């Protein structure tokens, strides 16, 4: 049986957890909105330069350090949810190290992925 004090503590914990998650930004690509009019970002003007600058040194296929290759738009689209979760918007676990993409570039990555990586 839950006491009133226990119920209040549980409610407070849930509210705190919700606030923490809200402060962390979007974690899921499926809930991140593509702008109403779509995006002007394309693989040619954004995706390829972004991945070339920040990702392919480790995610570059056979010569890279990872089995996850981001060498073309189709492989990127196939892994879009994972890329979003690790590198887009306020998600900053990738790339590792001191040199990170600027925040505005991470927001563009989120938009581009949310719009289907055109």
Mean pLDDT value across residues 34-55: 97
Among the residue ranges 86-90, 97-101, 103-107, 109-113, the one predicted with the least confidence is 97-101
Task: Report whether 83 contacts 113 (CB < 8 A).
Answer: yes
The whole-number pLDDT of residue 14 equals 40
CA 58 – CA 97 distance, rounded (Å): 12
Which pTM was predicted?
Answer: 0.75
Task: Report whether 106 contacts 85 (CB < 8 A).
Answer: no
Nearest CA-CA partner of 113 in 21, 32, 51: 32
Nearest CA-CA partner of 79 in 100, 40, 105, 51: 51
């Amino acid at each position: 049986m839950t006491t009133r004090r226990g119920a209040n503590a549980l409610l407070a914990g849930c509210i705190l957890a919700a606030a923490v998650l809200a402060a962390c930004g979007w974690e899921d690509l499926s809930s991140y909105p593509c702008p109403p009019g779509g995006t002007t970002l394309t693989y040619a003007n954004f995706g390829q330069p972004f991945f070339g600058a920040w990702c392919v040194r480790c995610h570059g296929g056979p010569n890279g350090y990872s089995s996850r290759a981001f060498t073309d738009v189709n492989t990127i689209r196939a892994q879009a949810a994972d890329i979003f979760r690790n590198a887009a918007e306020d998600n900053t676990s990738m790339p590792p190290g001191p040199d990170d993409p600027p925040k505005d570039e991470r927001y563009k990555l989120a938009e581009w992925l949310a719009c289907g990586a055109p």
